[in-house]
Homo-oligomer: A and B are copies of this chain.
Amino acid sequence: MNLPLGHHSLFDYHGCAREMLTDTEAIRSTLLAAVKEAGGTIVTDTFHTFSPYGVSGVVVIAESHVTIHTWPEHGYAAVDVFSCGVSLDQNRIRDRIAGALQAQRVEERRFARGMTPG
């Protein structure tokens, strides 16, 4: 049996509220709350506002991470969630962000990383 070492999800948020996608502090608060609710242990985080607009952020979790990049002009945000083990509730993170961004549509792609002989 092969077991993955990591689980990596790409979440795409379409039709988001544009004012949310430029609000760096609200996005940071949302991601930190989402990680805590999902059972993650936050190591550090870094968020940046880009000119003319758009937010990039990373939350480093123990051996895991969540990132976000926003395009306010397209009402779009790209998120990825990487975790080892199965303790981080990725669906909770996905849904918490969707609610905060008021996304009309969420796409998801999920991948196993590092398949090793188990």
Contact = CB atoms under 8 A, between A and B. Distances in A.
Interface of A: 5-6, 8, 10, 12, 14, 43-44, 46, 48, 50, 54, 56, 58, 60, 62-65, 67, 69, 71, 74, 76, 78, 80, 82, 84, 109, 111, 113-114, 116
Oligomer copy total: 2
A65 B46 CA distance: 12
Nearest to A45: B46
A74 B116 contact: yes
Contacts of A48: 43-44, 60
A37 B48 CA distance: 23
Given A12-B114, A44-B46, A56-B60, A78 B69 contact: no
